């Protein structure tokens, strides 16, 4: 009998866990939930009781207008005169409040010749990249369990490449002229973790002994890397 009770309890826990996982990213239950950063500006019938969805308060639908779904400026090239030779223009829920709960966002990436969008991950989104101008060498690395395999491709104008969620990926301009790409992401706020910046530029710094052992290098190498300025192109 104890075994039966244990089995029932275990199944109940698993069922609850499955429900919680499914409920963590629900589909919208309304046409839109235009984001607000605080409930004081929610207005209308919401006021202090404004609904909080995906980290944002919902604007009173009666006060929503077309500008809540609008962004202008992606036609303009960004300055790529920096150590990486690239610049990322992000359009997520912070730029378009109407993206809240919709699960999508967009970026424009400008590259100087030999410009690099360095190895990074998006913890909450898959990405598809479309090349508008130029030639890019792109790739991603699979997880440890899949042997850290590298998938790469040279892309030209009009080509598309997909980066699976959470995997380290990069883009390098291998042409002799400027390059431009647009990327769509499957999250309103995909996040970005640039590997070098996170590992060697964290605040406060990671203990050098940890990094020296992890990378199997002399501590002086880690000390040198931690003293560098790690540029953020976002």
Q: What is the pLDDT of residues 84-95, one digit of tens each?
A: 999 999 999 999
120 is in an annotated binding site: yes
Q: Supply the pLDDT for residue 3.
A: 55
117 is in an annotated binding site: yes
CATH 2.60.120.10 maps onto the chain at 86-191
122 is in an annotated binding site: yes
Positions in the chain whose pLDDT score sits under 50: 6-7, 10-25, 42-47, 52
Q: Name the CATH superfamily, with its identifier, for domain 86-191.
A: Jelly Rolls (2.60.120.10)
- In this prediction the pTM is 0.82
Q: Supply the pLDDT for residue 55.
A: 67
Interior CA angle at 86 toward 147 and 182, to 5°?
Answer: 75
133 is in an annotated binding site: no
176 is in an annotated binding site: no
Query: What is the H or E stretch that residue 141 is in?
Result: strand 136-141
Query: Shortest CA distance to 84 belongs to which of 129, 120, 60?
Result: 120
Q: Supply the pLDDT for residue 25.
A: 46
Query: What would the two tokens of residue 157 be?
Result: 């104008």
Q: Supply the pLDDT for residue 49.
A: 52
Classify residue 140 as exposed, middle or buried by CB count within 10 Å of its CB (0-12, 13-18, 19+).
Answer: buried
Condensed to tens digits (0 to 9), the pLDDT of residues 176-195 reads 999 999 999 999 999 999 99
């Amino acid at each position: 009998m104890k075994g039966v009770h244990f089995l029932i309890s275990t199944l109940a826990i698993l069922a609850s866990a499955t429900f919680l996982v499914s409920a963590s990213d629900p589909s919208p239950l309304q046409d839109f939930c235009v984001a607000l950063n605080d409930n004081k500006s929610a207005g209308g019938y919401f006021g202090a009781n404004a609904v909080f969805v995906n980290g944002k308060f919902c604007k009173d639908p009666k006060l929503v207008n077309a500008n809540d779904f609008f962004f202008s400026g992606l036609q303009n090239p960004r300055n790529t005169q920096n150590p990486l030779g690239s610049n990322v223009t992000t359009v997520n829920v912070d730029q378009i409040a109407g993206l809240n709960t919709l699960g999508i966002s967009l970026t424009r990436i400008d590259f100087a010749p030999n410009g690099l969008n360095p190895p990074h991950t998006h913890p909450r989104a898959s990405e598809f990249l479309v090349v508008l101008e130029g030639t890019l060498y792109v790739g991603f690395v699979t997880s440890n369990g899949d042997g850290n395999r590298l998938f790469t491709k040279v892309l030209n104008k009009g080509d598309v490449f997909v980066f699976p969620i959470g995997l380290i990926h990069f883009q390098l301009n291998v042409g002799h002229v400027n390059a431009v790409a647009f990327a769509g992401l499957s999250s309103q706020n995909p996040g970005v973790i640039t590997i070098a910046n996170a590992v060697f530029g964290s605040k406060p710094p990671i203990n050098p002994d940890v990094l020296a052992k992890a990378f199997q290098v002399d501590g002086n190498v880690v000390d040198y890397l931690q003293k560098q300025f790690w540029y953020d192109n976002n």
